[in-house]
């Protein structure tokens, strides 16, 4: 993944944004990849519809330079799985800090 975007993502995850699960964004809550969608919109001025969605748009993955969303995060199958199992944004940001190059 692109280092610049990884840094922005980590900062936003650590900013106190409200964490949710199962959807990218719903009811004022974001998943980790929902936060990345928000950053995409802010960075590109392109609006995407990700409210209530479960799949991160390909345009966001390409923009971020993410090649694989199924890399294990500790004992979890992926970042999505870790988020949906309640791993905090702060912990996920720490994992991204250590592993952004392999995403």
% of the chain at pLDDT higher than 90: 100
Whether pTM exceeds 0.75: yes
pLDDT tens string 1-47: 999 999 999 999 999 999 999 999 999 999 999 999 999 999 999 99
pLDDT of residue 88: 98
CA-to-CA dists, residue 48 to 15, 34, 51, 73, 91, angstroms:
22, 11, 9, 27, 27
């Amino acid at each position: 993944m692109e280092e610049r975007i990884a840094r922005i993502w980590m900062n936003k995850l650590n900013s106190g944004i409200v964490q949710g699960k199962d959807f990218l964004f719903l009811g004022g809550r974001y998943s980790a990849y929902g936060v990345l969608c928000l950053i995409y919109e802010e960075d590109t001025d392109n609006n995407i519809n990700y409210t209530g969605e479960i799949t991160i748009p390909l345009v966001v993955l390409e923009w971020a330079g993410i090649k694989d969303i199924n890399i294990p995060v500790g004992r979890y199958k992926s970042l999505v799985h870790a988020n949906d199992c309640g791993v905090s944004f702060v912990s996920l940001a720490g994992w991204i800090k250590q592993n952004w190059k392999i995403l």
